[in-house]
Amino acid sequence: MARYGSAYRASAEKETGMEIMDVRAIPLRRELRARFANAQKWIGSREYCLVRAETRKGVVGWGECWGPIAGNREIVERTVAPRLAGERVDEVEALHDELVFELRSSYHSFVPASVVSGVDVALWDAYGKSVDRSVSRLLGGRRRESVPAYATGHFFRDVDSIEELETIVAEEARSHVDRGFTALKQKIGLGRHFPWGTEEDLRLVAAVREEVGDGVDLMVDANHSYDVADATRVARGLADYDVRFFEEPVPPEVGYYADLADRTVTPLAGGECWAFREEFDRALAEGGLAYVQPDVTSAGGITSTARVASMAEARNIQTYPHVFGSAVALAASLQVLATIPGDPMLEFDRTENPIREGLAVEPITNDGDRVPIRDAPGIGIEVDEDVLAEYEVEL
């Protein structure tokens, strides 16, 4: 991957010390007290593959890969780390593009986007810390010092009746509003796990709307559980509840969104399952999206997420990054959110997650319905090494 002559590189590295000396994967896992579910799966633990990148001067940057530890860990340590040795963290965008090219060449039918994402975030963090600047400033400037947040939660629980689940999600919604949130996102798609269907999905939405009233923004996420016919039925029903957007109603094939958008007035959102600018370009060009949702841990890192936001702005579409990770993903997402044009919102996961709450020395918290965006070096957090050791596992 080296691009420069040895004389230039030796001079630059002597001056800055930004040479990458070590890249490692660090697996974390914590079992939860009680499992919960979305339409995709039951979740009984929180599991992350972090990426640690260290420069010759000892500056450490942190990133996070989407998905399970297995696979991410092996590609980071056996394939990516040797390629990055000797490269410079202030060349992060060029390194991102070269990794995509080389990994596509290695795997042919796909690029391990979660690996590229975790490495990219770690390099941006190390770069910012190396020059004592926040990533948001390195990306071109901060448009805001805080961002409005919506509380994500309201997942499915182990219940025997829809009435019991209605009560649980309504009470949870009330608790978020009582803590200052003025926007919420809930889950539907019950038919994947329960003997219920779209009628019961709409009952859950009705229960939350009735509980919080009309003054609270409500988003709904089906985690791509419907075919176009059922998605159409649900989207039309959601119009009765003044839903801001209907997220991932259908599988993440770009054409499905345009088809569904022609059938309903409910705004559609999607993007957490897409990666890199080419795929997002197809989705934006095809139409159907009112909001686009790249995730820094799976879309290709900070580099790709910032690029997608610019592409979306050119089509007058708002970017709402998807966020459902540890403190590293949350901090990195906030740095991008500081730079996104328009009126973005932060997805603020409120489900049980000890790793998210404890991993940062200074945890990221909401102030009412907003979350401050730190202007500290890198992504704005320091990892608590004691908490890291507590949750690190060998799988």
List, by residue number, the catalytic residues: 322
Nearest to 40 by CA among 195, 224, 220, 202: 224
Q: Are 332 and 373 in contact (CB under 8 A)?
A: no
* Residue 147 β-bridge partners: 371
Look at residues 146, 261, 175, 33 and name the one whose alpha carbon lies nearest to residue 186: 175
CA distance 146 to 212: 24
**Among 212, 355, 270, CA closest to 260:** 270
Task: Supply 67's token pair.
Answer: 């998905």
Integer Cα distance of 1 and 4 in angstroms: 9
CA distances, 390 to each of 179, 328, 351, 358, 386 (Å): 29, 16, 20, 10, 6
Strands 183-187, 318-319: pairing is: unpaired
Contact indicator for 321, 305 with CB cutoff of 8 Å? yes
Beta carbons of 371 and 378 less than 8 angstroms apart: no
Tell me the residue ranges of DSSP E strands in 248-391.
Answer: 268-270, 291-292, 318-319, 346-349, 370-372
List of residues 6+ apart from 336 with CB closer than 8 A = 135, 136, 139, 296, 302, 305, 306, 309, 321
Tell me the C-alpha to C-alpha distance, in Å, between residue 325 and each of 64, 181, 301.
8, 20, 13
